[in-house]
């Protein structure tokens, strides 16, 4: 599929709604950590989305577009949510994410990025040179990756309860 900003925005704008629909008003039993697991629970993932909205996608896009002397991105703290989300409820995080995402989509649209600008490059601290199209495409796929992560987490809550059907439920592999 050819990258187009408006097509990317279709997914980016749906993510907060999807997560609110999936997670809003669920009991703690669904969203708490699975015993003996290092995996992030939904609360952790939503906090991670929020940190990305504040420090990653749009800021990095602006660095690329500015094409200033320094086009190197600041390192992203993939674990900042554990501190930043303390004392908040999952519903509060979902609301904050929804607000930040709306603002970032508005900003993305206002940047009026051209197809030529999608080729502009920045420097990722670990991955090296990347272009704007790759950054924005990654934003979309990052959303979908964490939606999958959340649904796997939810499915695992009943993994012991499904009995013999487990072999037909690939989400539990």
- 61-113 per-position pLDDT tens digit: 999 999 888 889 998 988 888 888 888 999 999 999 999 999 999 999 999 99
For the entire predicted model, the pTM comes to 0.93
Give the tens place of pLDDT for each residue, 22-43.
Answer: 999 899 888 877 665 678 899 9
H-helix or E-strand spanning residue 122:
strand 121-124
Spell out the CATH class of 5-25+38-172: mainly alpha
Compute the distance between CA of residue 107 and CA of residue 105 in angstroms, rounded to an integer. 5
For residue 33, the surrounding DSSP H or E stretch is none
| Region of residue 36 (phi > 0: left; psi between -120 and 50: alpha; otherwise: beta) | left
Q: Where are the domains of the chain?
A: 5-25+38-172
pLDDT of amino acid 119: 97
């Amino acid at each position: 599929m050819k990258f187009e900003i408006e097509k990317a925005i279709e997914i980016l704008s749906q993510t907060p709604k999807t997560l609110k629909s999936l997670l809003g008003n669920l009991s703690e039993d669904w969203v708490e950590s699975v015993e003996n697991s290092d995996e992030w629970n939904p609360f952790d993932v939503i906090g991670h989305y929020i940190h990305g909205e504040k420090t990653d996608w749009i800021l990095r896009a602006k660095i690329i577009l500015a094409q200033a002397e320094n086009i190197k991105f600041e390192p992203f703290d993939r674990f900042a949510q554990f501190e930043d989300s303390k004392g908040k409820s999952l519903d509060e995080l979902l609301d904050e994410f929804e607000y930040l995402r709306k603002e970032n989509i508005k900003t993305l649209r206002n940047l009026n990025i051209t197809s030529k600008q999608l080729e502009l490059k920045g420097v990722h601290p670990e991955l090296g040179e990347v272009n704007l199209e790759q950054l924005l495409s990654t934003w979309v796929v990052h959303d979908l990756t964490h939606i999958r992560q959340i649904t796997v987490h939810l499915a695992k809550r009943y993994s012991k309860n499904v009995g013999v059907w487990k072999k037909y439920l690939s989400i539990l592999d």
